[in-house]
Structure 1
Amino acid sequence: MSVNISEYIEQDLESRIRSGSDLPDRLTLSSIAGMYDVSLTPVRAALDGLIERKLLVKQENGRLQLGATARARSPRAKSAPRPMPPVDHDAAIGREIILLSLRQHGLQDGVDPFVREEAMAEQHGIGRSLVRSTFQRLAGGGLLEHVPRCGWRVPRFDQDEMDAYLDIRETLEVKALDLGRASLDPEDVERMIEGNGAPAVQRGAIDNTLHAYFVKQSGNRYIEAFFASNGRYYNALFDYAALGARVVAEMAAQHVEILEHARARRWAKARAALGHHIQSQRPVMEAMIASVRQGD
């Protein structure tokens, strides 16, 4: 990557500040993290750089406001180009692995289930060592399996396995919501609702962090361990399946329903909406598999 994510956020925010446009209504860590769909860590690093260069100022109450350098921007600043986001090779290669996994569903055992570092490196125009590092990270999340003296094996999608995972996921996420309800931050809930509003749906970039948020707020390390060990493959599958505009809109509406019930402390309705949302991913995946196989 030419820049890392914190450098990109800093450069992009600088461009937005100098042009005086496309900034979030509230300059907070959580709102900026939601805008870029990242954790708070790279946002903090980006803001430190902007504060050091006086483009932002942190007030005594911790709130951020535009600094003197930003207010003195040039009239020509609006034409300044926005930086290109860093290429996320993990995400790009991960999507390709997911597609290969889906294409294996229902095929004969003779189909080659392996991917090669050299071919992947050539396809993406990157070095083989970078591909190997990406494969290792994907293997850690269950998206690949390293077979000594053979290479990297793509897991074959299994409908029964997915059904079993969804059942356990529903049980554990609802339990996580029950355990963490007292520690839900209203500002976080509002941010996630905003991240599933009409503008986000139109961009096709809705906020899907409520699931990880509920698990984290539960404070239960066994629930966290389950999703850390088993969630990445299926989360990647569901994210890939939800690429269509209609599905994105449906998922966003379900997120908002869950979060609004949680905000109003209607816990029984929040639990039911969360369970329905998780189980609704079954038909989405079935439609995606049919689409992939038709495309082949």
Structure 2
Amino acid sequence: MTITEFIKSDVKAVLQAQGRLPYRLTLGAMSEHYKVSLTPVRHAIDELVEEGVIRRKDNGRLEAVPEALEGVVLESPKPDATESRLYDEIREEVIARSLNQDSEYLREQATAEQYGAGRTVVRQIFSRLAGAGLIEHVPRCGWRVRPFSEQDMHDYLDIREMLELKALELARGQFTDDELNQLLKANKPGKGAAKSELDFDLHDYWIERCGNRYIVEFFKRYSPFYNALFNYAVIDEKVKREMAREHCEIVECLLARDWKGARKALSSHIREQREAVSRMIEYLNAKETV
């Protein structure tokens, strides 16, 4: 079950049982309640609106429609924390193999024995990793890790910068101060001993609203693999703090309707990914020599 599916099912179950939700029906409040980024919340809301469980009022605010669930049989899901941890562990191993150009096939039974898990669970995790572009299934051979290529990364970032800047421009009319402020709240550079808060899905906000299906399809097809690497590259608080600061700079420019400043901040942020991945590779190489 994906995070989006869990949120949808939980919203329905709570509405049916209580007739109301224990939080404000906004992106920020739901993100904080479920302890996730804004993107899965946004997707869940869109699907709940389509199903009639939530409606958008004329002023853009959301309203629950508990009567839409009358007579509907629901089951309240319970996320499996153990499976979630296993997914993270296997994902980290796959990323490390990708960066190390490890061409050895992953096999379900061997991986299940390595982690003390069931083969069915491992197969489901491999399918999710394949959906993210990290591995691919080769019949009668197993699962092949996608090898990392530094040149491919540079080529991807060149195209990403052009298309994402275009998406930002096209999506201007779709931004609202309420949503931008929620994005700002989700990205907080840490101060002193306080840890930074970082929303890795910030970029989806303008990509999903740009109205250009070719741009959307490019990121849907190519970004999961590189996003997994870039997110994994946030190896310490210093890097995370700088990324949170860059995210805030972009959003603050959007709130001020400083389009030129937003483009400049976004361009600089994307180009920083090259250095982040380089630092990550150095970090992993250093760990291997210890």
TM-score category, normalised to shorter length: 0.7 to 0.9
Q: What are the superposed Cα offsets for residues 191-247 of structure 1, whole Å, 9 maximum, x if unpaired?
A: 010111246994454112221111001011111111111111100000000131001
**Cα distance in 1 between the residues matched to 2:175 and 2:201:** 13
The answer on whether the counterparts of 1:98 and 1:143 sit within 8 Å (CA) in structure 2 is yes
Residue from 241, 261, 265 that aligns with 1:269: 261
Task: Give the secondary-structure state (helix, strand or coil) at the position aligned to 2:100.
Answer: helix
Alignment of 1:137-286 (within 5 A): 137-198=128-189, 202-286=194-278
**Cα distance in 2 between the residues matched to 1:248 and 1:5:** 27
Amino acid aligned to 2:93? E
Using a 3 Å threshold, how does the CA distance of structure 1 residues 112 and 274 change in structure 2: closer, same or farther? closer
For normalisation by structure 2, the TM-score amounts to 0.74
1:102 maps to 2:93: no
Using a 3 Å threshold, how does the CA distance of structure 1 residues 43 and 177 change in structure 2: closer, same or farther? closer
Task: Give the secondary-structure state (helix, strand or coil) at the position aligned to 1:115.
Answer: coil
Amino acid aligned to 1:130? V
The answer on whether the counterparts of 1:196 and 1:256 sit within 8 Å (CA) in structure 2 is yes
Q: Which residue of 1 aligns with 2:56?
A: none
Deviation at 1:112, TM superposition (A): 4.4
Task: Give the secondary-structure state (helix, strand or coil) at the position aligned to 1:149.
Answer: coil
Using a 3 Å threshold, how does the CA distance of structure 1 residues 166 and 132 change in structure 2: closer, same or farther? same
1:127 maps to 2:85: no
**Cα distance in 1 between the residues matched to 2:82 and 2:259:** 40
Q: What are the superposed Cα offsets for residues 57-80 of structure 1, whole Å, 9 maximum, x if unpaired?
A: xxxx8679xxxxxxxxxxxxxxxx
Aligned CA RMSD, in angstroms, stands at 3.2
**Cα distance in 2 between the residues matched to 1:172 and 1:264:** 23
Identify unmatched segments of 5+ residues in structure 1. 14-23, 47-60, 65-82, 105-110
Identify unmatched segments of 5+ residues in structure 2. 15-21, 49-60, 65-78
The answer on whether the counterparts of 1:27 and 1:63 sit within 8 Å (CA) in structure 2 is no
Using a 3 Å threshold, how does the CA distance of structure 1 residues 169 and 112 change in structure 2: closer, same or farther? closer
Residue from 253, 269, 282 that aligns with 1:290: 282
**Cα distance in 1 between the residues matched to 2:96 and 2:9:** 28
For normalisation by structure 1, the TM-score amounts to 0.73
**Cα distance in 2 between the residues matched to 1:8 and 1:126:** 26
The answer on whether the counterparts of 1:258 and 1:273 sit within 8 Å (CA) in structure 2 is yes
Q: How many residues align?
A: 245
